[in-house]
Amino acid sequence: MKITNVKSFVSDVGHFFVKVETDSGIYGVGEGGIRRRSLALAEVIRSFEPFLIGADPFQIEHLWQVMFRGGFFPGGVVQSAAVSAVDIALWDIKGKALNVPVYELLGGRTRDKVVCYPHNGGATPEALVENCRKTYEAGWKFVRWGLADGSGSDTFEPRRAAQFGLKQVQAVRDAFGDDIEILVDVHTRLDPADTLDFCNKVEPYNPFFIEDPLRSENPGSLRRLRQQTSVPIAVGEQYDSKWKFREAIEEELLDYCRVDLCIAGGLTEARKIAGWCETHYIYLAPHNPLGPVSTAACLQLCLSSPLVGVQELPRAPMSSLTDVFPVQVPFESGYLLPPELPGLGIEFNEEALTNVTTQEYGPPHGYTRDDGSYTNW
């Protein structure tokens, strides 16, 4: 079997997909994780074509090494996201060719289902509680929301946000008691002093974890936080390779690994990161804000991994992009279930998408503080 074509696609909301075709008629589909850099991803993948076309798609590790290292200079997050998309597609091809789900290629199932968390929200603590109640009554065991400052505008003041976030956590815990797990995504918006204050104040309410409490550029900054709070910490969604995870894993600066399969190098890299986490008793909580391919790939990894905390799932399967992916992985009452189809367990209709155009998706993310300075989205 040989690779005959590599196609890039983008949805109208920025989802970036890759289809790898072979001379046997079997294709694989992958997804890249940077929605506002789709044109850059397409160009990087175009640069991969000379050594992908004609290659054996079963040589996944070899092709990963060539894509990641073939430009000599480490490529960073854009290149890693492009590698991720192709890598996931190659695993899809191999599973289909061998007529088994991808998790069988990763060592087989370790669990029967994967617990997930939705994205909740609300402009006030009361509105948040009502939104959480809807997902709770639908069977979800977790609730999650992003930290905001409660102003209702595009500003974000750290101290105001920490105080508002505490009120949200209090309200949700008072409403549901211990029947629900609480996740708060700081989304890298706080600096060390403010995030330490926030973590220590919410600690009595027993959150499952606090996600991305600090900016990700310097993993060593987690050390101070780790020393001064016992709240579980989840980080990693912006790390683009196993090397970026090194310090946080080896120094045990996190409790939950937020590896993004569509950024960190696909299934090939994610399974290495997962094995590394296992040696430090760190659980997986894969980052998955994207489309059906990302969901399917994360599910395959979680089904085969021994330490899984929870899986992000803002859009339940068959609730979006059903024209592009008419078959998606199974889901029921807050759990993703093992797919029966081989490969990733999804089907792709490229006719429902257009090839990548010259139009990039959306403006840059970001909030400003009261004084007009920029802060993270």
Among 15, 280, 287, 365, the active-site one is 287
Is 287 marked active-site?
A: yes
Is residue 28's pLDDT more than 60? yes
pLDDT tens figures, 310-350: 999 999 999 999 999 999 999 999 999 999 999 999 999 99
How far is Cα 159 from Cα 151, in angstroms, rounded to an integer?
A: 12
- The predicted pLDDT at position 37 comes to 84
Placement of tokens 């003041």 in the chain: 157
> Taking phi first (over 0 means left), then psi (-120 to 50 degrees means alpha), and beta for anything else, what does residue 348 get?
beta
In one-letter notation, the amino acid at residue 146 is G
Helices (H) and strands (E) in the chain, counts: 11, 16
Residue 231 tokens read as 């709240």
Among 62, 187, 280, 365, the active-site one is 187
pLDDT tens figures, 110-162: 999 999 999 999 999 999 999 999 999 999 999 999 999 998 888 899 999 99
3-state secondary structure of 76: helix
What's the distance, Cα to Cα, between the start and end of the chain in Å? 44
Percent of the chain residues past pLDDT 90, beyond the cut? 85
Please, are residues 188 and 216 in contact by the beta-carbon 8 Å criterion? yes
Kindly list the structural domains of the chain, giving each domain's residue range(s) and its CATH number in brackets, ordered by start: 3-100 (3.30.390.10), 104-355 (3.20.20.120)
Q: Which residues, 6+ apart, have CB-to-CB distance to 31 below 8 Å?
A: 15, 16, 17, 18, 84, 85, 88, 262, 290, 291, 293, 294, 297
- The predicted pLDDT at position 296 comes to 98
3-state SS record for 293-310: HHHHHHHHHHHHCCCECC
Is 62 marked active-site?
A: no
Placement of tokens 């974000």 in the chain: 156
